[in-house]
Amino acid sequence: MSKRFKESNLEGHSGLHFNTAATAEPDVPPALKESNKLSATSMGENSIPSFKAADLVVRPSSRPKAKQPTFSFGTAFTDHMLSIEWTLSEGWQTPLIRPLGSLSLHPACSALHYGIQLFEGLKAYRGDDNRVRIFRPMLNMSRMARSARRACLPAFDQSELLECIRRLVELDQDWVPHTASHSLYIRPTFISTESSLGIKKPTCALLYVIMCQAGSYFNDEAEPVSLWADPKYTRAWKGGTGDCKMGGNYGGALLAQHEAMDYGCQQVLWLHGGDHQITEAGSMNIFLHWINEDGEEELATPPLDGIILPGITRQSILELTSKWGGFKATERYLTMGQLCTALKQQRVKEMFGSGTACMICPIGRVFYQGELGRARSDWTFLV
C-alpha cells in the first residue's frame, strides 16, 4: 500500500511551479479549489494590514556556499533567507531576502521563555522537465495562519507570504536537488520577539523562512520504522495545541522518543485517553490498512478532533485513495485494543506514517504492554 502511494507521485499532485514568475497551480481538482483559495474573501486581504510581495527587497549573497555531496536532514542550508518584522505600533515592515545569517534576539525574548512561536514545513521538488514545484503550499499557508491565531501572533496575507517564498525558492533554485529521492525543505518560522518577562500578547514579532536540502528523514527509508506505544506520555489533549504546528509539541516529545529507543524502537506511537486511542506516530500522521470489524477493506486514520495535526500529506492521501475504489478511506477513532485484536486475527495489511519530512513511511513493529507486533502484510503477534 505505501509503495502504491509513492508510485502515485504525491509530490506532484498539486504543486506551485515556476520557471521565472509563474505562480498558477495546474490541474487542481474542483473540490480543492474552494478550500485552497488565496483570495480576498477567504484570506481577509482587504481587512488584514499585511506586507506585500511587490515591496520585497532582495540582497543577494556575494559568497555562495558550495553544495555538500552528502548531508543529513536539516543541515545543508541554502544561501538566502526571508525575514519580515512586525510591531504593533508600525505593523508589517518591508519583506527582505538576504544572505542566511544569525538572528539577534533580546535575552528576554518571549519566544524563548514562553514558546510563543510556530513553524511550517513544505518541500520543493525538481521534475523530470527540470521545473521546480512546491507541493500544495496554499495548505501550509492556511495551517500557518491558524497556528498564528492560536499563538496570538499577528495575521498576514497568505498569498503575499507565498509569493515571497516563491521568490526565495527562485533565487536559490540551484539548491533543489536533481534526483527524485531528494528535495528542498522550506521552513517558515514565526516567533514573538517581545523583550519582556511578562506573559502577554506580543507587540513585536518576526516571520522568517530558511531552506535546506533534504534526503531521507530516517537513516534508511527502505526499512520500516518501529514504534513504542505506552500511555505514560501524552502528545496532545483536547483544547490544547496538538492541531497547531508549534515547537513545544515536538520539544516535549524528546524524552518519550529516547525512552522508545531504550525499547529498541525508533519512534513513539502516541496514545490518548483511557481506551488508548491511536493518534500519531512520532511526528507523523498514521494510517491503518486493514480488514475492519465489519469485514470491509479499509484505510483508516484518526479524525481531526483537535489533537491531530492536519497534515498536508495526510489530506492528499485521503483525497487520492477516496478515488481509487476497492476499499474505503475513512477518518475514525482507532484504539490499541482494536489493533491488537486485528493483529491476532491477521486482519492487518499494513500500517504507515505520513508527513512532509518522511512522505510515506512504512511501520514494521509496534511494542505495546510487553508485546511486540510486526506490521505490514506478514503481521504476526509475539507475546
In this model, does residue 28 exceed pLDDT 70?
no
Mean per-residue pLDDT of the chain: 86
Task: Check residue 220 and give its pLDDT.
Answer: 57
In this model, does residue 7 exceed pLDDT 90?
no
- What's the CA gap between 160 and 95, in Å, rounded? 10
- What's the CA gap between 1 and 224, in Å, rounded? 13
Task: Check residue 100 and give its pLDDT.
Answer: 98
- Region 37-64 average pLDDT: 72
Task: Check residue 217 and give its pLDDT.
Answer: 67
pLDDT tens readout for residues 93-129:
999 999 999 999 999 999 999 999 999 999 999 999 9
In this model, does residue 140 exceed pLDDT 60?
yes
- What's the CA gap between 187 and 172, in Å, rounded? 14
Domains of the chain and any CATH numbers:
53-61+70-214 (3.30.470.10), 225-373 (3.20.10.10)
Distance between first and last Cα of the chain: 27
DSSP state of 278: E
Task: Check residue 181 and give its pLDDT.
Answer: 83
In this model, does residue 372 exceed pLDDT 80?
no
In this model, does residue 218 exceed pLDDT 70?
no
- Region 324-349 average pLDDT: 96
Task: Check residue 38 and give its pLDDT.
Answer: 36
Task: Check residue 166 and give its pLDDT.
Answer: 98
In this model, does residue 290 exceed pLDDT 50?
yes
Task: Check residue 374 and give its pLDDT.
Answer: 61
Q: Which three cell numbers stand for residue 222?
A: 527502505
- Measured in residues, the chain has a length of 383
Q: Which three cell numbers stand for residue 269?
A: 506511537
Task: Provide the pLDDT confidence category of residue 254 given band limits of 50, 70 and 90.
Answer: very high
- Region 28-49 average pLDDT: 41
Task: Provide the pLDDT confidence category of residue 11 given band limits of 50, 70 and 90.
Answer: very low
In this model, does residue 379 exceed pLDDT 60?
no
Strands (E) across the chain are located at 15-18, 57-58, 80-87, 91-92, 96-99, 117-119, 122-126, 132-135, 183-192, 204-214, 225-229, 267-272, 277-281, 284-291, 297-301, 328-331, 348-355, 359-368, 371-374, 381-382
Task: Provide the pLDDT confidence category of residue 70 given band limits of 50, 70 and 90.
Answer: confident
- Region 154-165 average pLDDT: 98
- What's the CA gap between 158 and 144, in Å, rounded? 9
Task: Check residue 373 and give its pLDDT.
Answer: 61
- What's the CA gap between 182 and 275, in Å, rounded? 39
In this model, does residue 37 exceed pLDDT 80?
no
- Region 71-88 average pLDDT: 93
- Dihedral (C-alpha) 297, 1, 355, 135: value to the nearest 10 degrees? -110
In this model, does residue 197 exceed pLDDT 80?
yes
